[in-house]
Structure 1
Amino acid sequence: MSYQTLLEHSNKMLASVRQGDWNSLIEYELDYICEVERLQSMEHEAPLDAAEQEQKRSLLEVIIDQDHEIKNHLLNYRKSLEKTILSMHNKQTLESSYRN
């Protein structure tokens, strides 16, 4: 089932953020999006039976949990970048005031 493939992409994305590998995250995210689009078109053509719906539900629960963790890592990374930028700005301001 292709939702298993979607989970595999999600696993790779999660591993990337845990390692702070932001470039790989972007690559895996593109694969993930392509798979989502492929799944959407497949389901329009051939609806899932009850067993497939249940498998889809359980896989999506895991994917959603992973998505929350990925978002938390991204928020923390953004906060880190904001602190770095603020620190650089403060340093430049301080250096500028000593030059004048």
Structure 2
Amino acid sequence: MASSLSRKTAASTTTPDQQQLLDAYETLLACSGRMLKAAREADWEALIDLQGTYLTEIEMLRHLEDAEVALDDDGRQRKAALLEQLLAQDREIRQRLNDRRNELSSMILDSKHELALTRTYRYYQEVSEAEVIEATQRFKSS
């Protein structure tokens, strides 16, 4: 509600170019919010899918920023608030991705240890069986 109120206030005092720039930031923030939701739900496939949309939105925003749209005081304040929200969401997404990476690394390490133990056990099991067969043959020939 506050977001739409801020946009309505900004719309009444801004030029179309300024509003277009602020709308692009709003769109980027909404996409970032969907990415954060996916990260919180550990829906990594959805997060990856949304990343393409996010990059497209950033590219569109870059073109608007390159046009050097002049912002009035309200526009600058709104842009700063949107950027703060984007950065906060980005921090949380990155933290959740780092946590996931650490989790996967741990799983890979556990898997490597398990494989090494299995190989070692198999080797000693084969060696033990060979020794039993050898010992049996020695006792038979005596």
Flag structure 1 segments of 5+ consecutive residues without an equivalent.
Answer: none
- Aligned residue type for 2:59: E
Distance 1:67 1:22, change over 3 A: same
Per-residue deviation, 1:99: 1.2
Asked if 1:56 corresponds to 2:79, the answer is yes
User: Percent identity, aligned pairs only?
Assistant: 33
Partner of 1:21: 43
Q: Distance in 2 between matches of 1:48 and 1:83?
A: 50
Gaps of 5+ in 2: 1-22, 124-142
| Misfit runs of 4+, over 6 Å | none
CA RMSD of aligned residues (A): 1.1
Q: What's the counterpart of residue 119 of structure 2?
A: 96
Q: TM-score, normalised by structure 2?
A: 0.67
Which protein has the larger Cα radius of gyration, Structure 1 or Structure 2?
Answer: 2
Rounded to whole Å, the distance in 2 between the matches of 1:48 and 1:77 is 41
> What TM-score does the superposition give when structure 1 sets the normalisation length?
0.94
- Rounded to whole Å, the distance in 1 between the matches of 2:52 and 2:79 is 21
